[in-house]
Structure 1
Amino acid sequence: MATVTSTVRASSVTAKRHSSSALRVATALAAGRHFKDIGLDSLAAIQLRDRLSTATGVRLSATIAFDHPTLAELTEHVRSALGDPTDGEPPTAQPAQAGGERFTAIYHRVIREQGPSAAMTLRYLASYGLPTFGAGHRAAHTPAPLRLATGRSYHQPVLIFLPGYLALHDPAPTGLGKALDGDYDLHMLAHPGFGTWPGAVPDSVATLVRLHAASVRELAGDRPFVLIGHSTGGGVAHAVAAGLTAEGTPPAAVILADAHHSAAGREDPRALALVAADRNRPAEMFDGVFSDAVMIAGGAYVRLFDGWAPEPSEVPTLLVRAVPTREMREIDPDGRWQPFWPGRHDVVDVPGDHYSMLTTDAAATADAIRAWLAGRA
């Protein structure tokens, strides 16, 4: 049977899904290159996790390739998870998902047959089964930050990205990171509960705010910082900004990337239109690619923010509005789908939709962020 090292190496190369580049990928990994540097995107990272879980019988985090970004680091992590400090043989492969039908597959059937509202309710109710933690235990549940870009000057503000919590794929905005690389330091703060199963989630918005505020202060040090919240992460960014302001360390600015003020609620039409995109995804993605842990944790955050509303803020704020998604246009071609945020803020429109603004259209989003921040310098 293959050793742990060869198992991890083979899974990493296969996850790229391009046989013509297998030799190039293997050579780059052997040289210590980071997975994201060889083009490992979020879907490939999840497939890598699933291959390793199947080969080893160990449950692994969906962000494992980003948390352990080189072949050596990933191999060491898998060895540790196996409880094997040597490069011996992994145990006989066991299914990573024991029992019957996956929750993700049930969700996909519900959203196709009963619609987004029923599917959202399913995630919401299932999340009651997750463990929770309070503010006193937040340090033990704080995910490590993920660096996505490196700036050219210490005097530039640090950009800190807070992702949405409804998407089923890896939320790391690697496209935006690439577009901003060389100009700004950009880090992502993942929300707790989206890794190993069952992941503990905060017991309140206040606990989440204190957890992220501590990470922000550690990342920024004595430098100015800007919070960027995408989708439902806009509410998180606003809440964290309010918490930091109350502590006397306000952000230089908050940027809301296609964030809608009422998208936290499970019956918000715009949120349901975004969730409706899951109807059109291939069934096999809900039976081995998407994670039960991610899906159910997202439901927990919907519960946390149910009924939440942004308080007035004096922090300079930019709302970056994307174009409507395909699902929004199908539901109501003439509907007012652009996001709305209360209070005083600037607005800029970008060509991408809710998803492409961070991927294929990330350059335009980055240009809008640069121009607005430069105007405030």
Structure 2
Amino acid sequence: DPQEAHTTRETAALRARLASAPSSFEQEAILLAVVREHAAAVLGHAEPETVQADVTFVEQGFNSLSAVEIRTRLAQVTGLRLTGPLVFDHPTPSETAAHLRERLAAEAAGQGGTERVAPRFVLPTSPEAAPEGTAGPAPAAGESLVPLYVRAHRSGRGADAMRMITGLAAFRPTFAGAAELAAVPPLVPLTRGQVDAANPLLICLPSFGATADAQEFARLAQGFRGERRIVAATVPGYTPGEPLAAGPDALLDLYAETVLNAAEVASDASPFVLVGYSSGGLTAHALAARLADRGRTPAGLVLLDTFTPDRAGVPDELIAGLPAAVLANNADGTGANVVGGDDWFTAFAHYYAFDWRGHLPRTPALPTLLVRHADGPDGAADFDGAPWAFSDDVTPVAVPGDHFTMIGTQAATTARAVESWLATHLTATQDRDDD
């Protein structure tokens, strides 16, 4: 298992250097050099100096797959067991180096430095929030549901398996609003571009499939070439020990608090645009309306292949094969899945069972870009059969690829389509003197 802790000569040498360093500052400098060295190797650079310490990994060329590769490399050289979206939770080499130093220090102090990454969302009553010494570590991620589902899917019973997994999700801890959480992570920065009247902040809301966090937008963010500031929200419950949002209102309340507490949004002069991919587009539209009610209306909304729900949850014929498609499209270079585990699967099933029909009010004046992939059943994007009726200001745009590749291998083209709309539609709306 490439994610298990490794003890090698390189690990021993690194730990000896760290032990002899006179201060935590020197230790962090050593680890920063290690992070830059391995980041350069993953990116194919000859010199570690080409990797900038305070620029996000995404801006320097990392995507979800290369993020797994550097996590594996850093696990091997440090001897730590590193899990989760390491370079997205700690978006720059400097921040990753600081995190590694903290993990190594915790291990040296006998505080579980080799344990899995702590949950990002924490309930006050969970073991992670209990007083020190009163509770053990949360259980590690399991893998039993994935092969069970795969067997059911291959035998034509994928929908039956998903109903069972949705039922299991009902036994997981939940929260009804942000106030019930003891810890909430901030929006994750993907790029650190400028934010002003002509360059609104882009806030990305992930789908309920795949990693359900910032990793989903890594390639899309690269397509903007660092010219805009892009951040992303995280869906709670996909990491072991995290609670699930009890329903759409709970998730929207969490997102609203997270967005309003972001430094870039705190100023009324800072415009922002919500970007939602697939099911994340439903949360993006619903969140736009909720933020407008609280006095912070987004400048626009970008929907990447989002469809209007016509029922609670997802039809059996779609949910039966959706996890299989997500697993197939989230494999690393070795064929191993980047996503998976029982927590991931129960969260996946839980959120796809939500009923969004009562949470999508009409926002007639909200500028909305509706992006659909051109690789449809008839070889063209389907706007007529799948319109977006919740705004009167909708711009339809077709991009190459399918549902997955439009933010994967074709993400650069999708980013250019979004950039064109931002530069023309929103700027024109801001400049002209009308209603």
Q: Does the aligned pair in 1 maintain the 2:299–2:367 contact within 8 Å?
A: no
Change (3 A) 1:265 1:98: closer
Q: How far, CA to CA, are the matches of 2:367 and 2:98 in structure 1?
A: 42
Shift of 1:259: 0.8
One of 405, 413, 426 as aligned partner of 1:361: 413
User: Whose helix fraction is larger, Structure 1's or Structure 2's?
Assistant: 1
Aligned twin of 1:318: 368
Question: 2:298 is paired with a residue of what secondary structure?
Answer: coil
Q: How far, CA to CA, are the matches of 2:70 and 2:80 in structure 1?
A: 14
Larger C-alpha radius of gyration, 1 or 2?
2
Q: How far, CA to CA, are the matches of 1:106 and 1:52 in structure 2?
A: 32
1:40-189 matches, cutoff 5 A:
40-49=62-71, 56=79, 58=81, 60=83, 62-81=84-103, 84=106, 101-114=143-156, 117-118=159-160, 120-121=162-163, 123-135=165-177, 137-138=179-180, 140-152=182-194, 154-156=196-198, 157-168=200-211, 171-181=215-225, 183-189=227-233
One of 247, 250, 259 as aligned partner of 1:204: 247
Aligned twin of 1:36: 58
Q: How far, CA to CA, are the matches of 1:178 and 1:278 in structure 2?
A: 22
Q: Which has the higher contact order (CA 8 A, sep 6+)?
A: 1
Aligned twin of 1:277: 325
Q: Does the aligned pair in 2 maintain the 1:232–1:259 contact within 8 Å?
A: yes
Q: Does the aligned pair in 1 maintain the 2:299–2:426 contact within 8 Å?
A: no
- More divergent stretch after superposition (200-209 vs 103-112): 103-112
Q: How far, CA to CA, are the matches of 1:173 and 1:275 in structure 2?
A: 19
Q: Does the aligned pair in 2 maintain the 1:112–1:279 contact within 8 Å?
A: no
Q: How far, CA to CA, are the matches of 1:74 and 1:341 in structure 2?
A: 40
Question: 1:45 is paired with a residue of what secondary structure?
Answer: helix
Change (3 A) 1:168 1:185: closer
Aligned twin of 2:279: 232
Residue 351 of structure 2 is aligned to residue 301 of structure 1: yes
1:215-230 matches, cutoff 5 A:
215-219=258-262, 220=265, 221-222=267-268, 223-230=270-277
Question: 1:261 is paired with a residue of what secondary structure?
Answer: coil
Change (3 A) 1:153 1:301: closer
1:79-119 CA distance string (max 9 Å, x none):
5346637699x98999x996975433433343343365345
Shift of 1:198: 2.7
- More divergent stretch after superposition (202-211 vs 175-184): 175-184
Shift of 1:260: 0.7
Q: How far, CA to CA, are the matches of 1:124 and 1:108 in structure 2?
A: 15
Question: 1:255 is paired with a residue of what secondary structure?
Answer: strand
Aligned twin of 2:23: none
Residue 288 of structure 2 is aligned to residue 241 of structure 1: yes
Q: Does the aligned pair in 1 maintain the 2:276–2:282 contact within 8 Å?
A: yes
Shift of 1:239: 1.6
Q: How far, CA to CA, are the matches of 2:212 and 2:330 in structure 1?
A: 13
Q: How far, CA to CA, are the matches of 1:312 and 1:30 in structure 2?
A: 44
Identity across matched positions, percent? 25
Q: Does the aligned pair in 2 maintain the 1:172–1:188 contact within 8 Å?
A: no
Q: Does the aligned pair in 1 maintain the 2:301–2:366 contact within 8 Å?
A: yes
Change (3 A) 1:333 1:214: same
1:36-67 CA distance string (max 9 Å, x none):
3442211222344466668856463x222112
Which TM-score applies when normalising by structure 2?
A: 0.68
Residue 278 of structure 2 is aligned to residue 256 of structure 1: no
Structure 2 runs not aligned, ≥5 long:
1-6, 19-29, 117-137, 431-435
Shift of 1:247: 2.3
Shift of 1:351: 1.8
1:214-263 CA distance string (max 9 Å, x none):
22223312123222211101111122122222223322322222111118
Q: How far, CA to CA, are the matches of 1:140 and 1:92 in structure 2?
A: 24
Question: 2:426 is paired with a residue of what secondary structure?
Answer: helix
Change (3 A) 1:236 1:306: closer
Q: Does the aligned pair in 1 maintain the 2:208–2:348 contact within 8 Å?
A: yes
Q: Does the aligned pair in 2 maintain the 1:68–1:77 contact within 8 Å?
A: yes
- More divergent stretch after superposition (213-222 vs 229-238): 213-222
Shift of 1:315: 4.4
Q: Does the aligned pair in 1 maintain the 2:285–2:360 contact within 8 Å?
A: yes
Aligned twin of 2:132: none
